[in-house]
Copies of this chain bind each other. A is one copy, B any other.
Amino acid sequence: MPELRRDPIIGRWVIISTERGKRPTDFATVPVGKSTAFCPFCAGNETKTPPEVYSIRAPGTGKDTPGWRVRVVPNKFPALQIEGDLNRQGEGIYDKMNGIGAHEVIIETPDHEKSLGDLDEANISEVLLAWRERMIDLKRDGRFKYILIFKNHGEAAGASLEHSHTQLIAMPIIPKRVSEEIDNSRKYFEFKERCIFCDIVSQETADDVRVVAANEIFLAIEPFAPRFPFETWILPKSHEAAFEEIDRRGIDLLARLLKEILMRLDMALNRPPYNFILHTLPCQGDNRAWYHWHIELIPKLTKVAGFEWGSGFYINPTAPEEACKYLREIAITSLKR
């Protein structure tokens, strides 16, 4: 019997279609590999990008020259534009405003061959540090209501350049998905006087059937009502509203867990394309008591069709408990590269 499950945060129902149950090998993916075309993100090609706004680099090396380990540059083809004012206005019954924002690229490594999951924990820590520093800087701009960090890995997941990178978009609105999470976590808090994400952490830890991995600070789970097969969330075990308030120890433990999850997914699903998104507190407003930052990671295994687009109702052929079992059973020793 297929099962309908409701995401407790935004109220989205999904179908867990166990009779169509799929094992990892049923998803034919093209492993994400690398070509040899010219790449503006490679070391030595620093002049082919806009000037860097942040970098972590070897002592004595200059801005926009080699020697960096992580480098942040404005997107050459930004979706939003940094200069101007918002000019929000009506047009009959409609609303519009100028597309003001920042669109940056965090180049995660000078090495064209490596994906984020291939990097050493120390390198991943530096990537997370770059996310934090850019968020803190951009939050000072009063025009921005939200800063979204996300990654498209592999062409099927929407990556237009294959060299490993994360993107950051600072925007003058709170995106719809985050608004929904905030509205619903507030309603839960008003009723229960508890954070719903903290309650998820408690129940998942007790049930222990959807926990993929954990350490002192973080938990990685397959959520109860995932939209997609092998959808994985990482969240702090204690109540933390804003990612950018993470300390150095938090960064190191998050890097370790993120690497482990990426390696397990690479092994289980043959280096699949994936997307992940960091959901953190909006820049303004007082939602600290009920919001809890987290990362949502989605391997790109299925085609999203008209039914999902039109209904917001997802059919997921893999139960999260099954996905969790596969991911846990990967022998971690075989993951060393």
**Known contacts being A277-B311, A307-B148, is A80 close to B2, with CB within 8 Å?**
yes
Chain A interface size band reads: 35 or more
Bound complex: CA of A176 vs CA of B310, how far in Å? Answer: 9
Contact partners of A207 in chain B: CB under 8 A: 92
Bound complex: CA of A203 vs CA of B306, how far in Å? Answer: 28
A169 near B307: Cβ-Cβ < 8 Å = yes
**Residue of A150, A156, A305 most packed against chain B (CB within 10 A):** A305
Interface hits, A184-207 → B, CB 8 Å: 196, 199-200, 203, 207
A313 near B279: Cβ-Cβ < 8 Å = no
B96 near A173: Cβ-Cβ < 8 Å = no
Contact partners of A200 in chain B: CB under 8 A: 93
**Known contacts being A94-B225, A151-B306, A305-B152, is A313 close to B3, with CB within 8 Å?**
no
28 residue pairs of the A-B complex, CB under 8 angstroms, read A1-B81, A2-B98, A2-B99, A3-B96, A3-B97, A4-B97, A6-B95, A8-B94, A20-B77, A91-B224, A92-B207, A93-B199, A93-B200, A148-B307, A150-B305, A151-B306, A157-B306, A158-B303, A158-B304, A158-B307, A169-B307, A175-B311, A176-B312, A177-B311, A178-B311, A276-B306, A279-B310, A304-B304
